Amino acid sequence: MPSAASPRFVHRSLTVLLACAAPVALAGAAPSPAAPAEARPLYKDAGAPIAARVDDLLKRMTLEEKVGQLLTVWDSKVKLLDAKKRIDPAKVAALYPNGFGGFARPSDAIGPASPRLVPGRDVKSTIELVNDLQRYALTKTRLGIPILFHEEGLHGYAALGATSFPIPIGLASSWDPDMIRQINAVTAREISARGVTLALSPVVDIARDPRWGRIEETFGEDPYLVGEMGVAAVEGLEGPGKPETLAPGKVFATLKHLTGHGQPESGTNVGPAPISERELRENFFPPFEQVITRAGPGAVMPSYNEIDGTPSHASKWLLHDVLRGEWGFKGAITSDYYAIDQLQDIHHIAADKAAAALLAINAGVDSDLPEGGSYRTLVDSVRAGKVSEAVIDDAVRKMLEIKFRAGLFEHPYADPVAAVKITNNADARALARTAAARSMVLLKNDGTLPLALPAAGAARPTIAVIGPSAAVARLGGYYGQPPVTVSILDGLKAKVGGRANLVYAEGVKITENDDWWEDKVTLADPAENARRIAAAVEAARGADTIVLAIGDTEQTSREGWADSHLGDRSSLDLVGQQQDLFDALKALGKPIVVVMINGRPLSINQVAANANAVIEGWYLGEQGGNAVADALFGDVNPGGKLPVTIARSVGQLPMFYNYKPSAHRGYLFGEATPLFPFGYGLSYTSFTVGAPQLSTATIRPDGQVEVKVDVANSGKRAGDEVVQIYVHDLVSSVTRPVKELKAFRRVTLQPGEARTLSFTLDHRAFELWNIAMKRVVEPGQFEIMAGPNSVDLKAATLTVTQ
């Protein structure tokens, strides 16, 4: 999302910004506003139970008004605006005589368009739009139903002036759920302050194919890690304890994308997910189940892909039987952008939009985002007897419940003065810097890092800062537009002051344009890059150390939402002439430190072999340059760990740590092991992690065991270690992975400090889905393993008795 498969979603440019949707005047005459039949309807009584308020409102609504609540406005947003881009009430009334339920991304200017071409709305103008629309809905429509606004908030609020944090795969590298909770609390307050109620976040797809451009939006490959990060994200957005109503500064989360999205066929976005029910239940379902049962997100979004011939948006088994039935989900199910239309356009299981709407509404999809292209046909379908009005009522009920739970009937308006004060304030910027620092993973270091600045009066070293990502702060997809961004070059300038000489060269360009929204991706001219490489070599010739920032742009790793807007790759190698740049600089014989700024894990075999140090930075957000400078000079000791396996080549795929025993036998003329394993990351200090100590050698299937692990800082610097606990079922009735992550904790230790960490493993750590597809704990022996990554582990044996 967004998806350009719909013919309405067209190339973004200044000349052709969008294809306007047809007017949404639903069948039937619009009821004129009239005086209420009673002084105070029950649905307007804030003290009444929400269920009673929904029942009262629902029985007053016409069919046209009900269907209107399932529609959202985005493509046609521009048709509601006057010349000053403010809401024109007459246009709203003409286009939506029966009202509409939702409004997409009020912070953008006119609908789907690149904010680089059409700048978004700032805090005040966003609130002006929101308040104008709410005032219209509450005072000019027959029943006065407020509008549900939604925004993107994947790694900060994606809006002009908001705070930008590292991308989710970077945040997952922190292995720090508490920090994820704090970041999402900031995201929630910045979104809520503009009068918006729903955030389209977090993504809890497990990602098992790095060719897939959306891997950057995920928390990685492991179900347990993704689930813990997802729970923390939802608690940050909504508040802890599965709140019934939203507290001030909170928004409802939208859990996405259910499911299989992260391992598409051929690694291409929206491709079929050739995944069995067992694989779904063992790996893809658990993060969703954990977040739903523990954190209670307000909404869930199905995935674009099909599973075993049935697209998720048409799967009653997935949305009704599993999501609502097995997991007890009570919130709203909102479509991904244009996904219902795609049941006709891409999947070809519906002859037209009306048929697509029937498939989705009967499967349980409550709202058609972002424009209602299919659901606007539902009035006619009800009239024709193709779907029961009771089915419509069920969907409308879910959408109204969100509005009542959010308090929109009582508090629909936002305060621009308060919003300006809390948006991208000092606390938010400080957290962005901390997040970037804790998200970096040190992959290699021969002692070159940390760099040192000379004492006063000593000779100043020269540092060459080179690369296509050295002088730009790359924010990744679904990005906001923070007031200030800090590149690596900016951060180093601030760090060294006058104590070191800095020289800069771009080295190469990766793509001619790095606008995430732009459809066409053009690689930079190799001949021009050859000249840039020569200039970079000359700039670095006199340097003492080279810092090289390479990786991706927002165009080389992104969501491929249409045939004309691709984002997936068939290779994991560095794009363009970046390897040539590294080789040329390495030939100078200088120490070279590589900082990877990227969205997907790349097969940097030669870089890893020949660089003196390598930091995996991902896209680090607005404060990334300061964080990198802190890490390079040792003011921050990197402590992140990889949330994904980094393959040596695309030929190894799929490559993930929790594989089955028969996998990865080996290759002729190639390695079977990854370049870097899941959970891996170094430090400027050293740690020892002891063998797991079990509180008991045996437990019953419903029992639990306490696992204690000693960890000590055996080096000379303070630093962080992530102690990881894995489980392996030695003999089972169905095949099981060689290991599965079941617990972890990140700890900070001073030099010489030692601690004993305690972890509790209960039946959930030992369950499997047996041959009858029942979740059970089978008696037998289990290895309990502890270590700093998924490879360097020490084990103890636990027996589960009958």
pLDDT digits (tens, 9 = 90+) for 768-802: 999 999 999 999 999 999 999 999 999 999 999 98
Rounded alpha-carbon distances, angstroms, from residue 16 to 113, 193, 522: 9, 32, 20
Strand partners, 575: none
- Eight-state DSSP code of residue 158: -
CA distance 685 to 720: 9
pLDDT confidence bin for 38, thresholds 50/70/90: low
Query: Is 176 one of the catalytic residues?
Result: no
Q: Which H/E stretch holds residue 295?
A: helix 285-295
* Residue spans of alpha helices (H) in 497-564: 526-540
Q: How far apart are the first and last CA of the chain?
A: 48
- Phi and psi torsions of 291, nearest 5°: -65, -40
Per-residue pLDDT at 416: 97
In this structure, the chain runs to a length of 802
CA distance 728 to 735: 11
The answer to whether the CB of 148 falls within 8 A of the CB of 102 is yes
User: What is the average pLDDT across 64-88?
Assistant: 95
List the structure tokens of 53: 């308020």
User: What is the average pLDDT across 591-620?
Assistant: 98
The answer to whether the CB of 396 falls within 8 A of the CB of 70 is yes
The three-class DSSP label of residue 137 is: helix
List the structure tokens of 443: 């992959």
The answer to whether the CB of 486 falls within 8 A of the CB of 651 is no
Percent of the chain's residues with pLDDT above 90: 93
pLDDT confidence bin for 12, thresholds 50/70/90: very low
Q: Which of 75, 205, 209, 336 is catalytic?
A: 336
pLDDT confidence bin for 6, thresholds 50/70/90: very low
Q: Which of 710, 468, 734, 728 is nearest to 598 (CA)?
A: 468
User: What is the average pLDDT across 492-518?
Assistant: 96
Q: Which of 460, 544, 448, 463 is nearest to 505 (CA)?
A: 463
The overall average pLDDT reported for the chain is 94
The answer to whether the CB of 258 falls within 8 A of the CB of 200 is no
Non-local (6+) Cβ contacts of 732 within 8 A are 768, 778, 780
Per-residue pLDDT at 13: 34
Q: Which of 91, 693, 40 is nearest to 410 (CA)?
A: 40
Per-residue pLDDT at 116: 84
The pTM for the full model equals 0.94
Percent of the chain's residues with pLDDT above 70: 95
- Phi and psi torsions of 81, nearest 5°: -105, 150
pLDDT confidence bin for 215, thresholds 50/70/90: very high
Sign of CA dihedral 493, 496, 498, 501: negative
pLDDT at 28 over 90: no
The answer to whether the CB of 236 falls within 8 A of the CB of 182 is yes
Per-residue pLDDT at 115: 87
Concatenate the DSSP letters of all residues of 579-598 into one string. Answer: HHHHHHHHTTT--EEEEEE-
Per-residue pLDDT at 306: 97
Per-residue pLDDT at 22: 38
Q: Which residue has the higher pLDDT, 301 or 1?
A: 301
| pLDDT tens string 233-291 | 999 999 999 999 999 999 999 999 999 999 999 999 999 999 999 999 999 999 999 99
pLDDT at 19 over 60: no
| pLDDT tens string 535-568 | 999 999 999 999 999 999 999 999 999 999 999 9
pLDDT at 27 over 90: no
pLDDT at 519 over 90: yes
Amino acid, res. 211: R
Q: Which of 146, 151, 148 is nearest to 162 (CA)?
A: 151
CA distance 600 to 655: 14
User: What is the average pLDDT across 50-60?
Assistant: 98
User: What is the average pLDDT across 426-455?
Assistant: 97
CA distance 173 to 617: 9
User: What is the average pLDDT across 371-390?
Assistant: 98
Alpha-carbon dihedral angle through residues 676, 232, 234, 180, given to the nearest 10 degrees: -70
- Eight-state DSSP code of residue 43: G
pLDDT at 3 over 80: no
The answer to whether the CB of 695 falls within 8 A of the CB of 705 is yes
Q: Which H/E stretch holds residue 27?
A: none
Per-residue pLDDT at 117: 84
Q: Which residue has the higher pLDDT, 6 or 205?
A: 205
Strand partners, 616: 441, 596
The answer to whether the CB of 800 falls within 8 A of the CB of 700 is yes
CA distance 435 to 438: 5
Per-residue pLDDT at 363: 98
